[in-house]
């Protein structure tokens, strides 16, 4: 589903709390948005980016740290930020993506503009600049820490930062092996009482990986449309 919009007036940046600043300093020496001016008009094209399950999880968990794995142009990141604002949570979002696109995006025969969205220049995608421009247009610079890495490397980086994650959204590659691998990588980083939510349960490989992982950790999965959710028991419930 496409969710493109026209540019709106920039809003003053909002707070993502001191932790966002510290993580930005550790990763980027400051905010990745310092001195950045949007290069492209707002374009929030995405898929299931404003799904009610994402809204519900922010409302319920009040997450300080959200990790969005697979962000494309940032539509789900922006939705998380809007929810954090709406539910008055002093949290922030770490946006993990190679910004190189997924296998299904590298398809020049597609007629839905997705290939063009990669903004290829001499074989190298410029997706990152659309993402950065979108976050800056929306004024969410203080709530977003970009992490331009593979999901695999990002999990290692986040583990080294000893950063407990309250909510992780898995929406990177959609084949069976990478989805299962992402669930296995990010689940141990989720805080007790937190949750892992994935997208595209309708994809055969995603469904298989999600069901297999749910059985592996012995936690019942909740499915609402495209979203599948695994909730980690609170600390006092862990035996
Ligand atoms: C379906 S899109 C994400 C959509 C986004 N959540 C939204 O709401 O619009 C998948 C994204 O995952 C990224 N991706 C695919 N494989 C990846 C990997 N192994 N590591 C990091 N990012 C990856 C792609 O670059 C792409 O931007």
Set out the domains of the chain in order of their start, with CATH numbers: 18-39+53-231 (3.40.50.150)
Instruction: Report the separation in Å between the CA atom of 61 and the middle of ligand 1, taken as the mean of its atom positions.
Output: 24
Whole-number pLDDT of residue 3: 45
> Between 75 and 16, where is the model more confident?
75
Mean of the pLDDT values across residues 63-78? 98
Q: Is 93 helix (H, G, I), strand (E, B) or coil?
A: strand
Instruction: Report the separation in Å between the CA atom of 80 and the middle of ligand 1, taken as the mean of its atom positions.
Output: 16
Please determine, for residue 44, whether its predicted confidence score (pLDDT) is greater than 60: yes
Q: Is the CB of 93 under 6 A from ligand 1?
A: no
Share of the chain above pLDDT 90, in %: 90
Q: How far apart are CA 174 and CA 195, in angstroms?
A: 19
Mean of the pLDDT values across residues 155-178? 96
Whole-number pLDDT of residue 9: 47
Give the number of the atom of ligand 1 that is nearest the alpha carbon of residue 199. Answer: 6
Instruction: Report the separation in Å between the CA atom of 106 and the middle of ligand 1, taken as the mean of its atom positions.
Output: 12
Q: How far apart are CA 59 and CA 84, in angstroms?
A: 8
> Is beta strand 222-224 parallel, antiparallel or unpaired with respect to 227-231?
antiparallel
Whole-number pLDDT of residue 12: 44
Q: How far apart are CA 201 and CA 167, in angstroms?
A: 18
Q: Is 175 left (phi over 0), alpha (psi -120 to 50) or beta?
A: beta
> Between 237 and 55, where is the model more confident?
55
Largest CA distance in the chain: 54
DSSP-assigned letter for residue 124: B
Instruction: Report the separation in Å between the CA atom of 72 and the middle of ligand 1, taken as the mean of its atom positions.
Output: 5
Q: What is the mean pLDDT of the chain?
A: 93
- Closest-CA residue, ligand 1 atom 23, reads 172
Whole-number pLDDT of residue 83: 98
């Amino acid at each position: 589903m496409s969710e493109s919009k026209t540019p709106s007036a920039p809003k003053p940046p909002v707070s993502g709390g001191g932790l966002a600043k510290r993580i930005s300093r550790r990763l980027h020496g400051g905010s990745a948005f310092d001195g950045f001016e949007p290069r492209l008009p707002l374009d929030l094209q995405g898929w299931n980016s404003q799904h009610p399950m994402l809204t519900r999880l922010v409302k319920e968990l009040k997450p300080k740290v959200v990790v969005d794995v697979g962000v494309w142009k940032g539509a789900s990141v922006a939705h998380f930020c809007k929810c954090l604002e709406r539910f008055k949570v002093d949290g922030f979002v770490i946006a993990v993506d190679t910004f190189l696109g997924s296998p299904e995006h590298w398809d020049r025969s597609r007629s839905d503009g997705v290939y063009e969205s990669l903004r290829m220049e001499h074989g190298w995608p410029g997706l990152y600049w659309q993402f950065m421009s979108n976050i800056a247009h929306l004024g969410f610079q203080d709530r977003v820490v970009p992490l331009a890495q593979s999901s695999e490397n990002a999990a290692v980086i986040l583990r080294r930062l000893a950063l407990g994650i309250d909510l992780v959204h898995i929406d990177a590659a959609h084949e069976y092996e990478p989805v299962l691998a992402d669930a296995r990588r990010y689940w141990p980083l989720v805080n007790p009482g937190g949750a892992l939510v994935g997208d595209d349960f309708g994809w055969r490989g995603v469904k298989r990986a999600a069901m297999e992982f749910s059985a592996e950790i012995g936690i019942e999965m909740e499915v609402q449309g495209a979203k599948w959710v695994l909730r980690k028991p609170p600390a006092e419930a862990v035996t």
